[in-house]
Structure 1
Amino acid sequence: QAKWSKLELQATKDEILNKLLLLENSYNELLNWQDVNEQLNMLAKNRALYIQQQLIEAYSIPQDKIFIKSSELSDQLHPQVKFGVGQ
């Protein structure tokens, strides 16, 4: 509760709350609070989704033909995501 009040105070000027600044500061605080490994896993998952989307859009590969190694789908997703394309 104290952190939230501090964030609100930092985003307030002339008694007007800047919601965009509050959002940005809150997001940065969340990232700073989050464990580094969790951040890396989140980035790796986002990267995997981006690569999959590019395969679908740029190369017209049907989604059901794209697969990720099953170990890569777990919470232990590594930054080097391995994709396969079925026939």
Structure 2
Amino acid sequence: MAAKTFDVTVASREKPLWQGKASQVQVPALGGGLAFLPGHASSFVLLSKGDLKINGEKDLAFSIEGGFASFEKNQMVIAVDSGEEEELKPKKA
């Protein structure tokens, strides 16, 4: 049976920002946005300035200034140059 979540660690140079399980992570890659799901192929991606979104037990968003993301064996590490958690606002109809 395929995993429904994967482990994610987000850290900046200054401090750890978040660690937990996610069902999906969206990153602002240099070539455009990318989404990672459980079982994704091994990847190393350079990140640009933008929004990092994590869907899991709680949906989170971080405004980041760049960095990199690595995904292997259902473990993702995201190292950002700097980042701050943002409040997610419900979409208006």
Question: Comparing both chains, which one has the higher relative contact order based on Cα–Cα distances under 8 Å and sequence gaps of 6 or more?
Answer: 2
Q: Which has the higher helix share?
A: 1
TM-score by length of 2: 0.26
TM-score by length of 1: 0.27
